């Protein structure tokens, strides 16, 4: 190609999802499958979200409300905030990109841990923002002391995922409080709480970033996980209005679309679906723990809808991944997250969890 690409864009690789699951299922004669690789909701989608989307389709000839006022107001009311303190986006990953676009310029650095949500590293690269990474601790937790030690005058945004994906580990209230004391007011902390509903259900003492209300933090949450509408792409952020307002300026004019807005509006009322989801997750996590203990596996206690297991070597993980896949069990090897000796399994329906355990036992 004659047209020269910027160096940082040349280094990007597009997401390689592999063959679509539907195709793989059609090609194979599996007695059963277990789709446990993307931390999706195994209970389906909120039916209230569906009704709301169907109703919103009429009117799709008009552009949607660019301010998403109904959804922002509804989220704000639920969380005891004003709509000016809420932003909605094309999933929380869309908001992450908008945060970097809005706040990082020139030498401004993004500081985070390695072994976290892979998208943050990609968004930093797309925006040509220098990325500083601190290793996880030996027990796979965010090393907040080391992160705080790395703050310099160039640090603009700090990204923390709580609970962290792919490890499932939690940053406790106490750890977060002492960390935030060390962060200057000129640095924006992103508290990514994509798994918040699961975290709170698994540990009532889990830090609630919205309630903690730090003046220099934005809390990100999503409808993709607990409400089962990952494909509609709708997430939200909560922060003081001066942090929200630049995010409204950098977003696409009509982001998110009307169906995504409607899905979020409907989902928020679906307490029944949420309860069912949380109950399934809690039972699934406990089942995994008891089985992993019986098998003597080294798993990391999780505050989300997945569990990470340390298998010691990348070869062991890759062999397990391939063998499980050949049996219709889809889990996530974590080489892409810099943890090639670890494997992540999402909580599925009971039949999927049991099938995974059965096949894992046979293979091991």
Ligand X SMILES: Cc1ncc(COP(=O)(O)O)c(C=O)c1O
Binding footprint of ligand X on the chain (CB under 6 A): 39, 91-93, 117, 161, 165, 192, 194, 222, 224, 230, 235
Output 76 or 230, the one with its CB closest to ligand X: 230
Output 39 or 52, the one with its CB closest to ligand X: 39
Question: Which structure tokens are listed for 109?
Answer: 């650095």
Report the relative pairing of strands 131-134 and 329-330 from DSSP bridges.
unpaired
Which residues are bridge partners to 176 per DSSP?
none
Cα dihedral 220, 226, 230, 233 sign: negative
Output 91 or 348, the one with its CB closest to ligand X: 91
CB 131 within 8 A of CB 164: no
Smallest gap, in angstroms, from Cβ of residue 331 to ligand X?
15
Output 225 or 359, the one with its CB closest to ligand X: 225
Query: Strands of 131-134's sheet, edge to edge?
Result: 86-89, 235-238, 217-222, 188-192, 155-161, 109-113, 131-134
Output 93 or 327, the one with its CB closest to ligand X: 93
Output 199 or 222, the one with its CB closest to ligand X: 222
Smallest gap, in angstroms, from Cβ of residue 40 to ligand X?
9
Number of residues that this document lists for the chain: 364
Output 69 or 231, the one with its CB closest to ligand X: 231
Output 92 or 280, the one with its CB closest to ligand X: 92
Smallest gap, in angstroms, from Cβ of residue 172 to ligand X?
17
Report the relative pairing of strands 131-134 and 109-113 from DSSP bridges.
parallel
Smallest gap, in angstroms, from Cβ of residue 228 to ligand X?
11
Smallest gap, in angstroms, from Cβ of residue 326 to ligand X?
25
Question: How many Cβ atoms sit within 10 Å of the Cβ of residue 4?
Answer: 7
Query: 101-106, long-range: CB within 8 Å, 24+ apart, which pairs?
Result: 101/127, 101/250, 102/246, 102/247, 102/249, 102/250, 103/156, 103/157, 103/188, 103/246, 104/129, 104/156, 104/157
Output 161 or 320, the one with its CB closest to ligand X: 161
Instruction: Compute the distance between CA of residue 75 and CA of residue 85 in angstroms, rounded to an integer.
Output: 10
Smallest gap, in angstroms, from Cβ of residue 250 to ligand X?
17
Smallest gap, in angstroms, from Cβ of residue 263 to ligand X?
12
Smallest gap, in angstroms, from Cβ of residue 253 to ligand X?
20
Smallest gap, in angstroms, from Cβ of residue 132 to ligand X?
19
Smallest gap, in angstroms, from Cβ of residue 224 to ligand X?
3
DSSP 8-state assignment for residue 276 = H
Instruction: Compute the distance between CA of residue 148 and CA of residue 144 in angstroms, rounded to an integer.
Output: 6
**Directed axis angle between helix 314-326 and helix 350-363, to 10°?**
120
Instruction: Compute the distance between CA of residue 276 and CA of residue 45 in angstroms, rounded to an integer.
Output: 11
Output 167 or 291, the one with its CB closest to ligand X: 167
CB 104 within 8 A of CB 297: no
**Residue whose CB is nearest to ligand X in the complex, by number:** 91
List CB contacts of 272: < 8 A, sequence separation 6 or more.
none
Question: Which structure tokens are listed for 256?
Answer: 């998110």
């Amino acid at each position: 190609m004659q047209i020269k690409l910027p160096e940082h864009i040349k280094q990007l690789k597009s997401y390689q999802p592999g063959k679509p699951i539907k195709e793989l299922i059609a090609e194979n004669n599996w007695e059963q499958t277990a789709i446990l690789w993307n931390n999706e909701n195994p209970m389906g989608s909120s039916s209230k979200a569906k009704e709301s989307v169907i109703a919103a389709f009429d009117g799709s000839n008009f552009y949607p409300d660019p301010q998403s006022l109904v959804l922002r107001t509804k989220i704000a009311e639920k969380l005891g905030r004003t709509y000016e303190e809420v932003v909605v986006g094309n999933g929380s990953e869309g908001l992450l990109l908008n945060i970097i676009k809005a706040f990082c310029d020139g030498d401004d650095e993004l500081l985070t841990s390695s072994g976290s949500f892979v998208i943050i590293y990609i968004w930093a690269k797309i925006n040509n923002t220098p990325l500083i990474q601190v290793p996880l601790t030996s027990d796979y937790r965010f090393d907040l002391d080391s992160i705080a030690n790395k703050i310099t005058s160039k640090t603009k945004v700090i990204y923390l995922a709580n609970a962290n994906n792919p490890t499932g580990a939690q940053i406790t209230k106490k750890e977060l409080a002492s960390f935030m004391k060390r962060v200057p007011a000129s640095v924006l902390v992103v508290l990514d709480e994509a798994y918040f509903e699961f975290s709170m259900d698994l540990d009532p003492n889990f830090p609630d970033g919205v309630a903690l209300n730090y003046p220099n933090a934005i809390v990100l949450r999503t409808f993709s996980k607990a409400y089962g509408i990952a494909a509609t792409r709708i997430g939200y952020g909560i922060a003081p209005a001066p942090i929200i307002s630049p995010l409204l300026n950098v977003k696409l004019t009509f982001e998110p679309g009307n169906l995504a807005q409607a899905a979020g509006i409907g989902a928020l009322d679906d307490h029944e679906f949420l309860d069912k989801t949380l109950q399934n997750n809690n039972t699934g996590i406990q089942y995994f723990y008891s089985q992993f203990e019986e098998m003597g596996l080294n798993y990391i206690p999780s505050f989300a809808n997945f569990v990470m297991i340390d298998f010691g070597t990348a070869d062991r993980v890759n062999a397990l991944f391939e063998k499980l896949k050949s049996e219709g069990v889809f889990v996530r090897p974590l080489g892409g997250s810099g943890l090639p000796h670890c494997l992540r399994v999402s909580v599925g329906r009971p039949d999927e969890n049991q099938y995974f355990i059965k096949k894992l036992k046979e293979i091991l």
